Amino acid sequence: MTTATSTPARPAPPGGPAPTTMAQAINRALRDAMAADDTVHVLGEDVGALGGVFRVTDGLTAEFGEERCTDTPLAEAGILGTAAGMAMYGLRPVVEMQFDAFAYPAFEQLVSHVARMRNRTRGSLPMPLTIRVPYGGGIGGVEHHSDSSEVYYMATPGLHVVTPATVADAYGMLRSAIASDDPVLFLEPKRLYWSKETIDLSSPPACEPLGRAVVRRAGTSATLISYGPSVSVCLEAAEAAREEGWELEVLDLRTLVPFDDETAAAAVRRTGRAVVVHEASGFAGPGAEIAARLTERCFHHLQAPVLRVTGFDIPYPPPMLEKHHLPGVDRVLDAVARLQWESDHTEGGAA
C-alpha cells in the first residue's frame, strides 16, 4: 500500500527565489517540460486527479488535460510497455512508478526492450523515456516501499541512471533527463521530497549536465562518495569529522550511469582515502562498482582500501528498525576511522 503525503506539492510562485521542496521542483520541471514540448506525456498510477501519492504530478492533468497526464490501469509492465510504444511513435513519455518495489513487474520491458531498442534498431527506434522511481527509505514506509533498487538499473547496459541530492538538481536533472534521447532512470530519494532550498524556479539555477559528479564540500583528509539520499548524511558526517581533526571531501555522484570517472578519480587521488556511502545493500550494490573502478584507477594513490558504508544485506527493514539499517553519521565516521591513519596506527601499535 501507499504511505502518501497529504501535503500537496504546490508549485513555487512563478517568479523570484522562494523556499521550494524537491517535490515541488520536480513538479515544476514536469510542467515546464510539458509546456515546452508537446510530445512530453506523463503516465502512471494516480498521476492525474490525485497528483501522485507524493503529489509530484499535482496539477498537470488540470493544466494539460488527461491525454498529456494520464491515470493508467494498475499494471506496471503495461505502463512501461505502452510508454515504449509511445516512444516508438516519437513521443517523450515520462513514466511514474509509484514506489521502487512496484517497478519490478516492468523489469522485462525495461531490460529486454527499453534498454535495447535503440541498439537493436541502429537508432531507428530510440527510447527517449524518463522513468521516475521514488526510491530509498527513511520515510517509515511499510515493506516494499523503501527499496534502493538502483543497482539493478546500473547493471543494465543501455540505461542512464541518475539521482538528485539537491532541490536545484532535482529540477535541472529532470529537465535534462526528459530531454535525453535515451531512457533515463530518474531516481527520486523519497525522504528528500520535503527537503527545501530557496531557489528561483522561474530562472532555474544552472545545473551541471547529466554525467558529471560534483564536489559538495572540499576536503583533504578523505573523500566521501555518495549520491541521492546519502549526500546529506555525508555532509553532516564531514561537519562532525572536524572534531576528529579530519577535513572530509564530499562528492555527489548525481549520475550513476554513465559514471564520471574523471571527477571521482581526481577526488580520490586528491585525498588518497575514500568511503562510499549508500542506502542500498552492500553486497553487489552500487558501492561495489564505485570502489572497484576507483581502486583500478587510483590504486597507487590509496593509503587504504576504499571502504563502503551501506545498508545491510537484508530485505529492507520495517519503520521501527530502519534507523539501524540506514548509513548514519556514526557509521560513516567509523569507516573513516578505519582508513588507516598514521596517528591511528601509532595508537593501534600501542594498544
Partner 1 sequence: MTVLEQTPGRDESGARPTPPTAGWRPRTDPAPLLPDETPFRLLGTGARLDKRRKELWRELYRGLVHGRRYNRQATALTRQGRLAVYPSSTGQEACEVAAALALAEQDWLFPSYRDTLAVVARGVDPVEALTLLRGDWHTGYDPRAVRVAPLSTPLATQLPHAVGLAHAARLRGDDVVALAMVGDGGTSEGDFHEALNFAAVWRAPVVFLVQNNGFAISVPLAKQTAAPSLAHKAVGYGVPGRLVDGNDAPAVHQVLGEAVAHARAGGGPTLVEALTYRVEAHTNADDATRYRTDEDVAPWLGHDPVALLEAELRNRRLLTDREADAIAEEAEAMAADLRGRMNTDPALDPEDLFAHVYAEPTTHLREQAAMLRGELAADAADDPDRADTPARRRATGRDDHADDHRQNHQERAA
Ligand X SMILES: Cc1ncc(C[n+]2csc(CCOP(=O)(O)OP(=O)(O)O)c2C)c(N)n1
DSSP conformation class of 112: I
Whether residue 216 contacts residue 238, with contact meaning beta carbons closer than 8 Å, is answered with: no
# residues contacting a copy of itself (CB under 8 A): 46
Residue 293 buriedness (CB in 10 A; 0-12 / 13-18 / 19+): middle
Residue 234 to residue 276: CA distance in whole angstroms: 10
Distance (Å, whole) CA 8 – CA 24? 9
At closest approach, how far in Å is the CB of 10 from partner 1? 13
- Catalytic hit among 113, 145, 160, 278: 145
Binding partner of residue 292 among a copy of itself, ligand X, partner 1, none, CB cut-off 5 to 8 Å per kind:
a copy of itself
Task: From the list ligand X, partner 1, a copy of itself, none, pick the one residue 48 interacts with, judged by a Cβ distance below 5 to 8 Å according to partner type.
Answer: partner 1
Site for a copy of itself in 88-117 (CB under 8 A): 101, 104-105, 107-108, 111-112, 115-116
- Which residues make Cβ contacts (< 8 Å) with residue 326, sequence separation at least 6? 137, 138, 279, 311
Contacted by 107, from partner 1, ligand X, a copy of itself, none: CB < 5 to 8 Å by type: a copy of itself
Contact residues for 303 (Cβ-Cβ < 8 A; gap 6+): 272, 273, 339, 340
**Exposed, middle or buried: residue 347 (CB in 10 Å: 0-12, 13-18, 19+)?**
exposed
Q: Give the residue carrying C-alpha cell 575514500.
A: 274
What does the DSSP 8-state code read for residue 110? I
Among 16, 181, 284, 292, binds partner 1 (CB under 8 A): 181
DSSP symbols for 149-168: -HHHHHTSTT-EEE--SSHH
324 is catalytic: no
Choose one: 24-32, 75-83, 130-138, 228-236; the region binding partner 1 (CB under 8 A): 75-83
Binds partner 1 (CB under 8 A): choice among 22, 26, 53, 199: 53
Give the x-and-dash track for 86-105 against ligand X (CB under 6 A): ------------x---x--x
Smallest distance from a copy of itself to CB 328, Å:
20
Residue 258 preceded by cis peptide, ω within 30: yes
Residue ranges in 103-142 that form contacts with partner 1 under rule CB under 8 A: 104-105, 108-109, 112-113, 117-126, 140-142
What is the contact surface with a copy of itself in residues (CB under 8 A)? 77, 101, 104-105, 107-108, 111-112, 115-116, 119-120, 143-144, 151-152, 154-155, 157-158, 257, 259, 281, 283-289, 291-293, 295-296, 299, 302, 304-308, 312-315
Active site residues: 145
